[in-house]
Amino acid sequence: MDPLVWLGVVSIALSLILTPLFRNLFRYFGFVDHPDQDRKIHSSPIPRAGGTAIALSYILSFVLVQMTLGISVARLALVWKVLPAAAVMFAVGLIDDLWGLKPWQKLTGQIVACGLACYSGILIVDIIGVHGVGWWTIPVTIFWLLASTNAFNLLDGMDGLAGGAGLFATLTIFIAALLQGHNVALALATVPLAGALLGFLRYNFAPATVFLGDSGSLVIGFVLGCFGVIWTQKSATLLGMTAPIMALSIPLLDVTLAVVRRLLRRQPIFTADRGHIHHRLLDRGMSPRRAAIALYALCSLVAVFSLLYSQYHNDRVAGIIVIVFCAVAWMGIQYLGYAEFTAAGRLLFRGDLQRAYRVQLELHTFDRALVLARSPEDCSALIRKTALQFGLRVTRLQLAGESYSEPFATPAQSWRVQVPFDHGDFVELERQAGDLAAGGPGGPFLDALWIGLVEHLPAFRRERAASVADSTVSNW
Q: What is the pLDDT of residue 344?
A: 63
| 299 and 241 housed in the same domain | yes
Average pLDDT over residues 455-467: 77
Q: For the chain, how many structural domains are there in total?
A: 2
Q: What is the pLDDT of residue 418?
A: 86
Residue 439, pLDDT above cutoff 60: no
Which of the listed residues 348, 367, 391 is the one where a domain comes to its end? 348
Residue 93, pLDDT above cutoff 90: yes
Beta strands in 362-425 (DSSP E): 393-399, 402-405, 414-420
The set of residues, in sequence order, having a beta carbon less than 8 Å from that of 287 and lying 6+ positions away, is: 206
| 188 and 229 housed in the same domain | yes
Which of the listed residues 348, 364, 386 is the one where a domain comes to its end? 348
Grade residue 13 by pLDDT with cuts at 50, 70 and 90: very high
- Evaluate whether 226 touches 121 at the Cβ level (below 8 Å): no
Task: Tell me the sheet residues that pair with 419.
Answer: 427
Residues 71, 74, 78, 81: is their CA dihedral positive or negative? positive
Average pLDDT over residues 53-67: 92
| 76 and 181 housed in the same domain | yes
Q: What is the pLDDT of residue 250?
A: 92
Average pLDDT over residues 442-461: 75
Q: Phi/psi of residue 168, each to 5°? A: -65, -40
| 290 and 408 housed in the same domain | no
Percentage of the chain beyond pLDDT 70 is 85
The set of residues, in sequence order, having a beta carbon less than 8 Å from that of 436 and lying 6+ positions away, is: 391
Q: Using one digit for the tens of pLDDT, what is the confidence trace for 169-204?
A: 999 999 999 887 778 889 999 999 999 999 999 999
| 168 and 132 housed in the same domain | yes
| 303 and 418 housed in the same domain | no
Instruction: Residue 405: give its domain's CATH number.
Output: 3.30.450
Which of the listed residues 330, 348, 366 is the one where a domain comes to its end? 348
Residue 437, pLDDT above cutoff 50: no
Average pLDDT over residues 115-128: 86
Q: What is the pLDDT of residue 465?
A: 74
Percentage of the chain beyond pLDDT 90 is 37
| 342 and 383 housed in the same domain | no
- Dist CA 300 CA 336 (whole Å): 19
Give how far the C-alpha of residue 27 lies from the chain's centroid of Cα atoms, to the nearest Å. Answer: 31
Give how far the C-alpha of residue 125 lies from the chain's centroid of Cα atoms, to the nearest Å. Answer: 28
| 363 and 391 housed in the same domain | yes
- Dist CA 429 CA 415 (whole Å): 9
| 391 and 447 housed in the same domain | yes
Q: What is the pLDDT of residue 349?
A: 62
- Dist CA 227 CA 318 (whole Å): 22
| ∠ Cα 154 340 262 (to 5°) | 40
Residue 61, pLDDT above cutoff 90: yes
Q: What is the pLDDT of residue 171?
A: 96
Structural domain boundaries enclosing 288: 3-348
In the predicted model, what is the mean pLDDT of the chain? 84
Q: Using one digit for the tens of pLDDT, what is the confidence trace for 220-238?
A: 999 999 999 998 876 555 4
Residue 476, pLDDT above cutoff 90: no
Task: Tell me the sheet residues that pair with 394.
Answer: 429
Residues 184, 185, 186, 190: is their CA dihedral positive or negative? positive
| 339 and 371 housed in the same domain | no
| 335 and 366 housed in the same domain | no
Instruction: Report DSSP state, residue 73.
Output: G
Least confident of 121-125, 159-163, 260-264, 440-444: 440-444
Please give the model's pTM, rounded to 2 decimal places.
0.75
- Dist CA 139 CA 252 (whole Å): 18
How far, in Å, are 105, 197, 257 from residue 154 at the CA level?
A: 17, 18, 11
| 80 and 94 housed in the same domain | yes
Count Cβ atoms below 10 Å from residue 6 Cβ, excluding itself: 18
Q: Higher model confidence: residue 44 or residue 141?
A: 141
Q: What is the pLDDT of residue 304?
A: 93
- Evaluate whether 264 touches 271 at the Cβ level (below 8 Å): no
Pseudo-torsion of CA 377, 379, 382, 385, nearest 10°?
Answer: -70
Q: Using one digit for the tens of pLDDT, what is the confidence trace for 410-436?
A: 666 677 888 888 888 888 888 776 554
